[in-house]
């Protein structure tokens, strides 16, 4: 997609573009019978994703750190759509304990799982470590979602096998993945304050989101599993995610107002990749403005994707043993 397409909203090969909304890209789709988990579904594009998927009759599970806010969001949707099927479960992705508990609580509901949307995240936060001693942006944006996905994979595989319906995993990444540290991921310095950059740490976590789906896809294809995994960049949207950089973002928006999206437009690529029939069988790709986009060379590096997978497993294992 060119900058002209981004500014004008002209559709790409998919028939949709930067101006398309989540309702536009899901028009006519009946998602009844599908169960979807959306992390970070209490605000911003996550909330819009939940609203539109519920409108299309999916049963949506909102995973949220702030359960009170998530329940308020649920009530807002129910006021507009009384027949919406929504549930709220507590989920703090920066905590291995909380992420594990969420997965256990979901499995206890005895529901199928067709779609997992790894949407939650933090952005440009000052250096801090999670309760598990992991740098917060890497721990929340990548490691928490990596663990959650692995904990739910058997449920997704069983659902896809028993129903014959393709499962889908969607990771929310960002164009910021191109602005990571040298060599992409600083494996030996993940938790070090020295050399920390809030912008590069965010880019690193978003690069990890793409590498995650790349290795997932390789494994799914090797196993013959009927599940796809793709990453999306929602675009520039002023949401609560930017709370650590409001002044910077507002200043940036003054000079780049023509490429910013509203929330319904920002949620469109997520909903498109999660539901649209055009994406049947498509996996391991990166999408921007509802069309496939070529990511950075690091994001296409199969060896780096495998290394990150093994590193993430070892990191979680080391924390769990403490």
Look at residues 61, 23, 27 and name the one whose alpha carbon lies nearest to residue 42: 61
CB 286 within 8 A of CB 168: no
Q: How many residues comprise the chain?
A: 322
| CA pair distance 195, 198, nearest whole angstrom | 10
Distances (CA, A) of 20 to 11, 168, 220, 293: 8, 21, 30, 17
| CA pair distance 304, 297, nearest whole angstrom | 10
CB 123 within 8 A of CB 245: yes
Look at residues 297, 273, 275 and name the one whose alpha carbon lies nearest to residue 283: 273
- Whether 298 is a known active-site residue: answer no
- The pair phi, psi for residue 38, each rounded to 5°, is -125, 115
Strand partners, 50: none
CB 93 within 8 A of CB 122: no
| CA pair distance 71, 9, nearest whole angstrom | 34
Who's near 109: CB < 8 A, 6+ residues apart? 61, 87
DSSP for 173-217 reads --GGGGS-BTTBS-GGGTT-STT--HHHHHHHHHHHHHHHHHHHH
Which residue in 196, 202, 286, 298 is the catalytic one? 196
How buried is residue 71: exposed, middle or buried, by Cβ count under 10 Å (0-12/13-18/19+)?
middle
Give the residue numbers annotated as catalytic, written as ranges.
196
């Amino acid at each position: 997609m060119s900058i002209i397409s981004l500014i004008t909203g002209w559709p790409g090969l998919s028939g949709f573009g930067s101006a398309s909304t989540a309702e536009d890209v899901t028009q006519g789709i009946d998602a009844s019978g599908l169960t979807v988990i959306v992390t970070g579904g209490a605000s911003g594009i996550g909330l819009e994703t939940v609203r539109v998927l519920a409108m299309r009759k999916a049963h949506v599970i909102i995973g949220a750190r702030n359960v009170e806010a998530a329940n308020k969001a649920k009530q807002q949707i129910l006021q507009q759509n009384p027949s919406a099927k929504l549930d709220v479960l507590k989920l703090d992705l920066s905590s291995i304990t909380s992420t594990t508990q969420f997965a256990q609580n979901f499995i206890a509901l005895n529901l199928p799982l067709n779609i997992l949307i790894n949407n939650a995240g933090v952005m440009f936060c000052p250096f801090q470590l999670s309760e598990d001693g992991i740098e917060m942006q890497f721990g929340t944006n990548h490691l928490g979602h990596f663990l959650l996905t692995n904990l739910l994979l058997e449920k997704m595989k069983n659902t896809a096998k028993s129903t014959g319906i393709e499962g889908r995993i969607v990771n929310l990444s960002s164009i910021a993945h191109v602005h990571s540290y040298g060599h992409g991921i600083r494996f030996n310095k993940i938790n070090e304050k020295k050399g920390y950059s809030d912008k590069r740490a965010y880019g690193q976590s978003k690069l990890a989101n793409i590498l995650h789906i790349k290795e997932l896809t390789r494994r799914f294809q090797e196993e013959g599993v009927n599940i796809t995994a793709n990453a999306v960049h929602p675009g520039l949207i002023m949401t609560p995610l930017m709370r650590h950089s409001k002044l910077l973002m507002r200043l940036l928006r003054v000079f780049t107002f023509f490429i910013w999206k509203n929330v319904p437009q920002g949620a469109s690529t997520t909903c498109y990749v999660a539901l649209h029939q055009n994406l049947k069988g498509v996996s391991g790709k990166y999408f921007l403005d509802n069309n496939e986009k070529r990511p950075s060379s690091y994001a296409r590096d199969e060896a780096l994707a495998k290394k990150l997978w093994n590193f993430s497993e070892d990191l979680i294992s080391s924390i769990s043993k403490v």
